Amino acid sequence: MTLGRMALVRIPAIRCKIHRLFSASHSSSSTNRTSPPLSRHMSMKSENLVSKLTSSGLLKTQGLIDGKWVDAHDGDTMQVLNPATGEVVAIVPCMGQRETNNAISSAHYAFRSWSKLTASERSQRIRKWYDLLIAHKEELGQLITLEQGKPLKEAMGEVSYGASFIEFYAEEAKRVYGDIIPATLGDRRLFVLKQPVGVVGAITPWNFPLAMITRKVGPALACGCTVVLKPSELTPLTALAAAELALQAGIPPGVLNVVMGKAPDIGDALLASHEVRKITFTGSTAVGKKLMAGAAGTVKRLSLELGGNAPCIVFDDADLDVAVKGSLAAKFRNSGQTCVCANRIIVQEGIYDKFADAFSKAVQSMQVGDGFSEGVTQGPLINEAAVQKVESFVQDAISKGAKVLLGGKRHSLGMTFYEPTIISNVTEAMLLSREEVFGPVAPLLRFKTEEEAILMANNTKAGLAAYIFTNNVQRSWRVTEALEYGLVGVNEGLISTEVAPFGGVKQSGLGREGSKYGMDEYLEMKYVCLGDMNRK
Task: Find out whether 58 and 116 touch, Cβ atoms under 8 Å.
Answer: no
The closest alpha carbon to 275, from 101, 511, 115, belongs to 101
The closest alpha carbon to 209, from 245, 243, 234, 192, belongs to 234
Q: Which of 139, 244, 305, 521 is an active site residue?
A: 305
Task: Find out whether 141 and 155 touch, Cβ atoms under 8 Å.
Answer: yes
Q: Per-residue DSSP letters for 349-369?
A: TTTHHHHHHHHHHHHHT--BS
Dihedral (Cα; 114, 115, 120, 122), 10-degree rounding:
40
206 φ, ψ to 5°?
-90, -15
List 196's β-bridge partners, or say none: 523
Buried b (16+ CB within 10 A) or exposed e, 201-233: bbbbbbbbbbbbbbbbbbbbbbbbbbbbbbbbb
Which helix (H) or strand (E) covers residue 348, if one does? strand 342-348
What is the C-alpha to C-alpha distance for residues 244 and 64, in angstroms, rounded to an integer? 9
Task: Report CA 104 to chain centroid distance, whole Å.
Answer: 22
What is the C-alpha to C-alpha distance for residues 158 and 208, in angstroms, rounded to an integer? 7
Catalytic status, residue 305: yes
Helices and strands counted in the chain (H then E): 16, 20
Sign of the alpha-carbon torsion through 344, 350, 351, 352 = positive
Q: Which residues are catalytic?
A: 305
